[in-house]
Structure 1
Amino acid sequence: MKKRFASLVLVILSTSLCQTFAQSVSLSKSIYQPGEQIIVNYAGFPGNSRDWISIAQVGMPEDKYLEWFYTGGNRNGTLTFGGRPYGNYEVRGYYNNEGIVRVRVPFRVGNADQNLSVKTAQPVYKPNEKIIVQYSGMPGNSRDWISIAQPGSADDKYLSWYYTDSKQSGTTEFTGLPEGSYEVRAYYNNEGVVRSRYSFTVSRTPVVNQPAGGKLCNRELSIFYAGVYGLGLAWARLGSDVIAPGTIADVQAVLGNAITGLNTIGCLDFNVNKISDYTRRLPGMSRAQAVNEIDALIKEILGSIQRSRISCSNGVSLASLYSIGIHLGASQGIANTFVCRMIPADWQQNLRNHLGLVRDGIAAYSSCIPGVSPSLVNAVDVSSPNAYIPFSTIVSIHIQVLWSVSLSSCCCSCP
């Protein structure tokens, strides 16, 4: 079990002091266009002339690859790989001509309509009310763009539009519109081909958020899980980290993903505009106010899930998946705050509490993610001298849950 789990750890720590940092490979984005060059940054390698980095398809044996380069004895640097066709891949780092993967990071080429999402924050707007559009899963090109158009118009026709400015997820604000039916559209790299669209209405008649019905399967559930994981991460960062501009910016980014995730579940009576409002007011809040308000939002969302009467395959509940995401995200947030030092005793206990709820959530949802065992949580070394060790283990568990949900045949249904 130890050997199997070790292969999933994303970052291998040096045995020297923290200032040498962890070995890492990183990408500027997680989704690439077919044929687009892939630039890999690496850091903290031992400095052997035959340390090497490869690109492989997910699932390939550790000593197999599609393309590779030696680091040339450099500890830190950048390598440029050729473009790949549609598919799921990972960058892998190795030491001194070995065939053992020491560090890896996944990425995807092409969206293939799996994780791309674009929609308005609410299904109905009043005339001339500002329209908030949320998007995620974009490739990250500087000229990816979002438009609002009339339904039935040609793909390259629009009423208004904005570039995403290389962002893969985020929020865009459009000016208000007169009464009528519209759709928001997503495009890649200045193309005129609609990749995703979402219908909404502008009406003077107030509309209560009604259950949308429909089936929620691996695509919707994986977006939902990723979104609430970000919500948990924000919760813990605000409670444990220094409230600096960088922390606020990180929290605001993941809260945008939380809105996208919650919007995939059409039958919740929770108003996601509450998160948008919280995000906007966050820079002016004290720590106590920020933590208390996000804590209340998390509880309110759980209540909405419980009231929704959503039924899922194999008797699992959406509330269990929500619990995994919230508390695993919170666990990462705590470990992230104390990287390069030991987690203080009070926060160790806080982390253990979150991990216990993660374990319970995985056990309750296990029939839909059979490849993820509740016992994985036991491998998180909460009392390690360096919080990077529990941090990397937590991230590894998150990746396993996300992949398992995205590949699961389980579905949930709104009443």
Structure 2
Amino acid sequence: QDLEKAKESAAPQRADDAPDSRVVAGQTNRAFQMGDELRSQDKDVLSEPEAEPEVVAEVDPFQSEVIDNRWLVFYRKVWPQQRRYIQGFAASLPEFLESHLDSAFLNSALPETASYLVFHQGELLEPTPVGQNNPRPLLLHSAALPYPLNDFDLAITVAQLPQSPAHQLVTFLALFLSVLFLGGFLGVYRLTVKQMELAQKKSDFVSAVSHELKTPLTAIRMYGEVLMEGWVEEEKKEGYYQQIHDESVRLSRLIQNVLTLAELERSEWQINLTTVQPVEFVAQITERLSNQVKRAGFEFETVSEGEVKPIQVDTDALTQILINLIDNAIKFSKDAETKKIVLTVSQLGNDCYIRVRDFGPGIPSRKLKSIFEKFYRIDNEMTRTTRGTGIAISLVKMLADAMGAHVDVANRQPGTEFSLRFVTS
């Protein structure tokens, strides 16, 4: 603005107003000098300010301290221009843990099974851990926190390790395999024991059969030689002939039992069912065996109860069943006070029952069901003095099952009673 004013004052005026030429020249020179000064001032104003000298300071990493288990202090040391300063801040320890750790921990799935502990420079910080309060926790994981909390360690603890689905599957498989192995071991053990028992029973059976075959053959040979040599009086010959006949019948019965057992085990026994009248059939059996029973010192008693209907049976199988039961009654009640064998035929609804009872010592209750097993003999004084192979009663059950009948045994006072149940026609 001063420069423009100087120029305006230096401009030529009208002729009638024109000043002296020396005055104009002086004003013009001053105007140009003022312009030069203003340009110089503008140049100074627009120029860059001078840079201040740079301040160099050394800064240490943050450190932390816990005071009275209540305050958490973060601080660091700074050396600007070789002068030491300490910078830092203090925070309430419970509020710091609550705001930075508790919220994150409680919003996760960990509090249901775990808790956390905070250590500062190796020392446990109070208050009590957040989560499950476990008196004897197990350490699940431990790690140091990042800077500037590198003086802190966080430990996750659990009362017991959580079970994942894979862990549950492995546990289930382990239990299943353990049970399977144990069951297999017990099964093999029981099978081995049964095989050993069966082998022993077969060995006893062979010995018993050998003895049972030898006894009648010896008797037949002895009576035959005596008769051939003429050493027997005439009135005694009939008795000797009868002994030979009885022993031969006994031998035939034993052989028949063994052959029948073999056929039943090979499923070669052919069942031919026919309709019979039970009362008449039992009467035929008692008549057939009456002489043998009388010579053994026993007597028959037959009983019929109700209107008995016809039944479907295999006559050979039923005959062998009744013979075996009668022979068993004679053997095991030979020392009984009442030497009688009672055969009862009765009708109950649609079932027909044929019962064979003796008046001997009976069978121990715990062994009643075992007597139907093959080669089984009751191990007591009664059987030690009684001949037998242990297959007669098992054949009774096998033949009854083949005919569709049911056999059972029960103790009576006194004696034992076997019962056969048939469905009537």
Bigger radius of gyration:
2
Shared fold per TM-score greater than 0.5: no
Bigger relative contact order, structure 1 or 2 (CA pairs below 8 A, ≥6 apart): 1
TM-score by length of 1: 0.24
* Structure ranking higher in helix proportion: 2
